[in-house]
């Protein structure tokens, strides 16, 4: 069982719709990342958060540490938002070294004009 679960796997929306992508994880983490992979393959880091909420333009990421859950929201979606959105968590590590990132399987978003 993958330790990071994303939902939905696929999402089709009309331009202008409000989008929510969810990510759940299983144990304590030190950080959670949201990544965007463009149709061309390039990966961009959107957010890194360990608590609360972050906003950048039309993108909002929230995390609830108690519920082990994070959401990525896109307001006023646009066809150029079409991409795969990947959640990744860094579990708390031991011995002082950095924990490695565990990735979700991604959510493929298509926004239709």
Partner 1 sequence: DTAVSQTPKYLVTQMGNDKSIKCEQNLGHDTMYWYKQDSKKFLKIMFSYNNKELIINETVPNRFSPKSPDKAHLNLHINSLELGDSAVYFCASSQSLRGQTHSGANVLTFGAGSRLTVL
Give contact residues for partner 1 (rule: CB under 8 A): 31, 33, 35, 37, 41-45, 48, 84, 86, 88, 90, 97-98, 100-103, 105-106
For residue 20, with 0-12 CB atoms within 10 Å meaning exposed, 13-18 middle and 19 or more buried, which class applies?
Answer: middle
Q: Which residues are paired to 90 by β-bridges?
A: 31, 101
How far apart are CB 70 and partner 1 at their closest, in Å? 16
Look at residue 47 and give its three-state secondary structure: strand
Least gap, CB of 94 to partner 1 (angstroms): 12
Least Å from the CB of residue 62 to partner 1: 17
- 8 A C-beta contact, residue 111 and residue 14: yes
Specify the residue, 71 or 103, whose C-beta has the smaller distance to partner 1. 103
């Amino acid at each position: 069982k993958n330790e990071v679960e994303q939902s939905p796997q696929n999402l089709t929306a009309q331009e202008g719709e409000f989008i929510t992508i969810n990510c759940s994880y299983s144990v304590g983490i030190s950080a959670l990342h949201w990544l965007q992979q463009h149709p061309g393959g390039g990966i961009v880091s959107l957010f890194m958060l360990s608590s609360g909420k972050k906003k950048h333009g039309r993108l909002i990421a929230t995390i609830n540490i108690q519920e082990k859950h994070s959401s990525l929201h896109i307001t006023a979606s646009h066809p150029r938002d079409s991409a795969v959105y990947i959640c990744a968590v860094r579990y708390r590590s031991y011995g002082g070294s950095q924990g490695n990132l565990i990735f979700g399987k991604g959510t493929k978003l298509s926004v239709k004009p």
